[in-house]
Amino acid sequence: MIVVVAGTGTDVGKTVVTAAVAALAPGRVAVLKPAQTGVGPGEPGDLAEIARLVPGVTTRELARYPEPLAPATAARRSGRPPVRPEAAAAAAVELADGHDLVLVEGAGGIAVRFDDDGGTLADVAAKLAAPVLVVAAAGLGTLNHTELTVAELRRRGLTCLGVVVGAWPADPDLAARCNVVDLPAVTGVPLLGAVAAGAGSLDPAAFASTARHGLAPSLGGTWQTPEP
């Protein structure tokens, strides 16, 4: 199975949620990062974090660009070739041949450009006919971003598995607590968990436990929707 993981924006906890899903998935798991930006040669990127949190997971990165920009812009400015959606889809299919689950982690949202021809993560999902798991922020503003993301997936004929909050605060404010109810209401897809903020700093055993408590049963966890 191949699942695409997309954020509603940057810094919403997409990498930690990808790792959480990988930690709980049965069988062999691979994580594909088509384009890593903001990381230089030899520096640890998102896949290094996932590999630390989930020992034994297979990781593959197709390209990296040093400036923290959208992949198309970062590729253009670096003078390096961009990652085409076709290449990302082909790499995912290749990994799927030897793994039970392949997670394709995007860069930012579904409409962020991979290349100057307009190729996006949504195009990768379409080429794979893969469902998309959306990672959202917890607080004020997330309803708009998440509803727009899910609506765009629906417009493109893509399946959205649901939404996971990528960094649930230890002391959630009123907006975050209300969003637990409002996110599924406005998007029409289920809320499939809320991973605790700071989970990415844990050791693998503690991270697996946190992932289990933060993801819904459909993703291998025990999370239940809290009261607002």
In a domain, 224, yes or no: no
pLDDT at 151 over 90: yes
User: 171: number of CA atoms within 13 Å, CB side?
Assistant: 0
Tokens 């392949």 map to which residue?
102
pLDDT in tens, 177-189: 999 999 999 999 9
In a domain, 91, yes or no: yes
**Count of domains for the chain:** 1
CATH code where residue 130 lies: 3.40.50.300
In a domain, 173, yes or no: yes
**Residue 170 is part of which domain span?**
2-219
Query: 8: which DSSP letter?
Result: S
In a domain, 59, yes or no: yes
Task: Report the run of H or E that residue 31 belongs to, with start and end.
Answer: strand 29-37
**DSSP three-state, residue 64:** strand
In a domain, 69, yes or no: yes
**Pair of tokens at residue 67:** 């400036």
Q: Please name the residues in contact with 172: beta carbons below 8 A apart, sequence gap of 6 or more.
A: 138
Identify the pLDDT of residue 224. Answer: 85
pLDDT, mean of residues 112-121: 92
DSSP 123-189: HHHHHHT--EEEEE-SSTTHHHHHHHHHHHHHHTTPPEEEEEEEEE-SS--HHHHHHHHHHHHHHSS
Q: Of these residues, 33, 64, 99, 113, which one is catalytic?
A: 33
pLDDT in tens, 7-46: 998 889 999 999 999 999 999 999 999 999 998 888 889 9
Number of H-type helices and E-type strands within the chain: 8, 7
In a domain, 225, yes or no: no
In a domain, 105, yes or no: yes
In a domain, 152, yes or no: yes
Window from 49-63, 163-177, 181-195, 214-228 with minimum mean pLDDT: 214-228
Identify the pLDDT of residue 43. Answer: 87
- End-to-end Cα separation, the chain, in angstroms: 34
Predicted structure pTM score: 0.94
Q: How far apart are CA 163 and CA 140, in angstroms?
A: 16
Q: How far is CA 221 from CA 13, 213, 215, in A?
A: 18, 6, 5
Q: Is 33 a catalytic residue?
A: yes
pLDDT, mean of residues 128-157: 96
- Helix H, strand E, coil C: the string for 93-128 is HHHHCCCCEEEEECCCCCCCECCCCCCEHHHHHHHH
| Of 32, 36, 28, 8, nearest in space to 18 by CA | 32
Q: How far apart are CA 107 and CA 9, in angstroms?
A: 9
Residue 196 pLDDT grade (very low, low, confident, very high; cuts 50, 70, 90): very high
> Could you give the percent of the chain with pLDDT greater than 90?
91
